[in-house]
Amino acid sequence: MMKTFLSIGSGPGIGFATAERFAKEGFHVVLSARTAEKTSALVEKLKAKGYSAEAKTVDAGNPASITALVSAVEKQQGAIDVLHYNAAFIRQATIATQPVESFNSDLAVNIGGSLAATQAAAPGMIKHGSGTVLLTGGGFALSPHPDYLSISIGKAGIRAQALALFESLKEQGIHIASVTVATFVNPDSKEATDIGEEFWKLYSQPKNTWTAEVVYPQS
Determine the pLDDT at residue 160. 98
Q: Cα 77 to the chain's mean position, in Å? A: 19
- Which amino acid, residue 7? S
Number of domains the chain is built from: 1
Mean pLDDT of 51-76: 98
Partnered with residue 132 across adjacent β-strands are 82, 175
Does an H or E element contain 7, and which?
strand 4-8
User: For the packed helices 113-128 and 149-170, what is the interaxial angle rounded to 10 degrees?
Assistant: 20
Provide the CATH number for the domain around residue 118.
3.40.50.720
Distance in angstroms (rounded) separating the CA atoms of residues 178 and 211:
9
Determine the pLDDT at residue 219. 74
Distance in angstroms (rounded) separating the CA atoms of residues 44 and 54:
8
Question: Each residue of 109-142: pLDDT tens digit?
Answer: 999 999 999 999 999 999 999 999 999 999 999 9
Determine the pLDDT at residue 73. 98
Residue 1 predicted with pLDDT over 90: no
Range of the structural domain that residue 171 is part of: 4-216
Question: Each residue of 194-218: pLDDT tens digit?
Answer: 999 999 999 999 999 999 999 999 9
Mean pLDDT of 164-181: 98
Average pLDDT, the chain: 97
- Which amino acid, residue 203? Y
Mean pLDDT of 81-88: 98
Nearest residue to 62 via CA among 128, 116, 102: 116
Determine the pLDDT at residue 192. 98
Does the CA dihedral 44-33-4-203 come out positive or negative?
positive
Contact 106, 154 (CB under 8 A): yes
